[in-house]
């Protein structure tokens, strides 16, 4: 069983992406550049195309990952707005749409008990994502992050 989630260990690496796919794609690019340099005169267009395709594969992987994280950020934004609507006093609910997406993403780690006060501080002091996470006392883990 892993340690409870907190500010220091909440960053998530997806093993197949970060430690298998990306190293293979980077190695492929390095190898294609190396092979192009050492065997330049023969098949120069093929080797250049190999470099272009290696870069395209890396871009596809990064953009695919980025789009899935962006979609999840939108879902988190919606979830946290709903959560704030249930936990904030009625007079403060009008300010829910003033939160930035980054603030809402960071607030998801706050427990229900400390969320109203931390949300108030986030708006009045204009705290950024990192400052909000550091201010959390009772961490609410997010184990479903992509």
Reduce the secondary structure of 84-139 to three states and give it as a string. Answer: HHHHCCHHHHHHHHHCCHHHHHHHCCECCCCHHHHHHHHHHCCCCHHHHHHHCCCE
In a domain, 122, yes or no: yes
In a domain, 22, yes or no: yes
Tokens matching residue 69: 């994280």
How many domains does the chain contain in total?
1
Segment 112-118 shows an average pLDDT of: 97
Q: With cut-offs at 50, 70 and 90, classify the pLDDT of residue 42.
A: confident
In a domain, 6, yes or no: no
Lowest-confidence region among 36-45, 70-79, 89-98: 36-45
In a domain, 43, yes or no: yes
Nearest to 73 by CA among 99, 41, 105: 105
> What gap in Å lies between CA 37 and CA 57, rounded to an integer?
20
At 9 the pLDDT is 83
In a domain, 83, yes or no: yes
Domain that holds residue 83: 15-135
In a domain, 140, yes or no: no
Read off the pTM: 0.82
Taking 80 as the threshold, does the pLDDT of residue 3 lie above it? Answer: no
Q: With cut-offs at 50, 70 and 90, classify the pLDDT of residue 2.
A: low
Q: With cut-offs at 50, 70 and 90, classify the pLDDT of residue 113.
A: very high
């Amino acid at each position: 069983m892993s340690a409870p989630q907190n500010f220091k260990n909440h960053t998530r690496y997806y093993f197949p992406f970060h430690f298998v796919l990306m190293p293979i794609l980077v190695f492929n690019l390095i190898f294609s550049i190396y092979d192009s340099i050492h065997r330049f005169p023969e098949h120069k267009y093929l080797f250049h195309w190999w470099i272009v395709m290696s870069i395209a594969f890396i871009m596809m992987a990064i953009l695919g990952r980025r789009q899935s994280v962006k979609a999840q950020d939108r879902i988190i934004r919606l979830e946290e707005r709903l959560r704030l609507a249930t936990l904030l006093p009625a007079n403060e609910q009008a300010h829910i749409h003033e939160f930035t997406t980054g603030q809402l993403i960071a607030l998801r780690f706050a427990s229900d008990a400390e969320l109203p006060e931390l949300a108030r501080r986030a708006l009045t002091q204009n705290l950024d994502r990192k400052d909000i996470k550091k201010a959390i006392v009772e961490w609410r883990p997010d184990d479903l992050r992509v």
